[in-house]
Structure 1
């Protein structure tokens, strides 16, 4: 370390390329020198600080890049020490110096000194410490082997040879020697140490072996199956002598305590080890209490409960409802008889015997009662010929049908079951679906009997019929309809009007009054002698005519009468309005009619009435 510090101090004193320049210093740029250091010299050139923009920049000598605008406080990344070496630096700002050195036996691959430039990068490439060609480094490791000679040596002379020996429990494959060559490299290792095998350690009955590697220094473990215990050591290790430690264990079955035969009974089976079975039976007239068969378990205990022999007693049979049994002895092979009360149907056995398994040979019978027919369900009737008060035997059946408008809730055929006849109900039938109203809307409260339906018509239609109706026995009562609201004929409200109806893209003059319904569109014109004043088109909406562009009702105004060629009084204009009168005069010496020289004319829709007169001598 002292040597490294000395080198570093010398380098700092000798480097002066990256400094500030005064008027007397020389800082000439060199493209070749910059390329050698790996620089591009992209910063702005300058001759004084005033040439640089920014408060933090100054005009400084940036090595082979010459005088450049540089931030003297800009920092370079901290340099990393090379493998087998070290690096020392005085600062990380502009002009900082880093000096590299290598451990013994290694030399630098690049320049030993690097400086922080105005680009905030270090000059040159970072050097590496490579092994000195005159020695070899540490000896290579060989798995499960060791070499002869001094340990912890970090360098060896050229020509030195090392001998490797495999560790105990391993055998050698390949050449055991390596040597240090003149190039400072060890010769290739061609030695492999393989573990010695101890062979298969063996299997055990009623157990298993865990572990698949039989080479040194692996181990295997033995375990027994449930119901067996291990005798011997469970673990064996493969030794370096190629022998397994210990001896092969074995699995011994678990034992259960011995069982005695019960009083008035017998025991079958004498083995008491794992999975062995012992059975028990009793003498005639006795039955086994507890477990008739017991098995020795994996935990060394018997399954089930202790067996004993008890006197057979079947006990009272199940009750006979609406009947009874005779006999009070319920012991082994005793017999009882069954009977039903008068009027009940006997179904089942008439007697039973107490058996060896302490059960009766037959279950108790059933005594079924009869059903009395009272009346059919409301709104229903019986389809078969039955009468009120009739008695049906157990199992007999009748059929029920419902009146029109009612539906069956339950089975159509009902059967008498021990005095009970569960008749179905006849309920009002619901409506199949909502009522349909063309050009209208329907709202319903449901489809069940009594549900309410409310009707309304769309715009341009009026309701004809009740506004509401109900679902009654499967159908809706009186249903209304939506009738169109017709618009009045325009020629009836507009004098001298002529109407054409739009149909399939063209206007037609022949149509029915019923065609003037919601959405109908008409073209309006006037009779000869009159002129249309107002809109030419109208549309029917909710029984009223709606004119285009919000205009008012049109009018057919009579045309005025021309006066060309008619001698009228001088105070009249060139045209005379409808219904206006004028006086026609003939010239002197002419008369309209004998003894008459003038006549009064009336303007009727653009024509004179009477027609234009003629003046004759």
Structure 2
């Protein structure tokens, strides 16, 4: 680099020129021989200038003032070789900067001058006799802010300078810092104020320990100017927890079996059979030196206190807590039965050998009754001991057996269950001249049965046509009967009536013949028959007075004979129909009708 330059005229006759590469160039204000120039330079802690490259030649030519005698430089022929007098080194060909035709070696020209601001060959060299007078051009090392790396005092000298280093630095230019041994700590870390690899003078380093370790010694050290730390380096020692006390009825097993229980050690607790651990089964030694939890203990195993509804429990150990090995026996109250084992034992696991039993209420078979209902004092689905059940029958049925039963503690009813029997009405007697048809034609006429009565032709029902068997076992009304159909008794004014049935009641089938007194004539049918409906077959005739006094007895006789024949024929026709019907419906009685020899008939009465 090129330093800033300036000229300073000194009272004792020299000029200082700060020039290139931080060298100071000085020259005399008067001309001197070469030897005097060398002495002059030495007196000013300098030497004749040594020009190491062509850029220095140019710089000096531009900077120095013109002097007609020009300037001596530090090159001289020694042992027939051009030599740098400051360093006693031979001039290399690559560094030569001779003016044109130089060096020419005329007349012992063993010293060298530099043309400054010459019209021709400015900044070039020329060999010259050493006794000629020229300006002495000297140079010496120049101290500046960076000469001693900013870490020391720069002292200038001949062609050189020295650095007086500050504490903590060394080297020619104080470029090297004093370092302390790199700090390190097992199970910890170091943080220094200067994070570079080398720990230099004045650096502070702080020590910290990993979790589970504690620092023994100072936490901060400083690197001294001597390269030593201010104190002994600290160490990280493992944290230890208090020793565990033996556990009653159990044991402890730690991951670190050494006497000192260090951070991170896990200790597991186990209990003997019949005992259970109360607390954490594993403890860890924490980084603070304390256990993570309180030390556990082994407590005797207990089973849940047994109890049973509607029963009692009797245990071999009467204490409040049922401990391992205790036997308990279960019993039930009257009316309850045990479901499950009657004896349980408390195991080392804290569980009973089996599920606890229960007392279930004794139940009787659920009662039911056909054609009836049951009403129990306990309306639940299961009929339990002590329940009373009352039986009632539907309408038309009657209870056979006790109306109330009780469920006993044995699970049986006090008596046999009753039943509902259908109500029956008295058997109906056969109906004369008729028939009976019932809705249920079984032998026993039960409640709700309807029986309908019908009569044969010529008979009419007296009473209800249908009877109903009631839930009380009685018929709704008296049984009816079939009575013979009767027609209104016939009569005729001025005449007479002669009926085939001479009884008072003119029954169905009876023929009645009408005749008129003398002097009257019959108007209408002379014979009527009593129909099954109780009506005569025709309108009754009448006897009206005759309009002709003379009577032709021949005609009368013929009419009488004709009437008699018709009547007889009608009677036989009626009798034939009657006999056919009787053959279908009835068994003939011992009574009968018989014809007389004269053609009239005799009627024998029959019971209706």
Please indicate, yes or no, whether the TM-score normalized by the shorter chain is above 0.5. Answer: no
> Which is greater in Rg?
2
Report the TM-score, using the length of structure 2 for normalisation: 0.26
Structure with more contact order per residue of length (Cα contacts < 8 Å, sep ≥ 6): 2
